[in-house]
Amino acid sequence: VNAQPAILTVSTILCKLLRKNKIEPSIVAGHSLGEYSALVASSAIKFEDAVKLVRKRGEYMQNSTPAGTGSMLAIIGLEKDEISEMCEKIKDIGIVEIANHNSPTQIVVSGEIKALEKFAVMAKEKGARLAIPLKVSAPFHSSFMETAKENLARYLEKVKIDNPKIPVSCNVTADYIKNKEGVRSALIEQMTQPVKWVDSIKKVSSEGINCFIEVGPGKVLKGLIKQIIPESEVFNVFDSNSLQYVIEKMGEVL
Tell me which residues are annotated as active site: 32, 141
Closest by CA position to 56, among listed 157, 169, 201: 157
Name the residue type at position 202: K
Q: What is the CA radius of gyration of the chain?
A: 18
The answer to whether the beta carbons of residues 35 and 42 sit under 8 Å apart is no
Cα four-point dihedral sign 145, 171, 223, 24: negative
- Nearest in space to 204 (alpha carbons), one of 224, 225, 218, 189: 225
Distance CA 163, CA 175 (A): 15
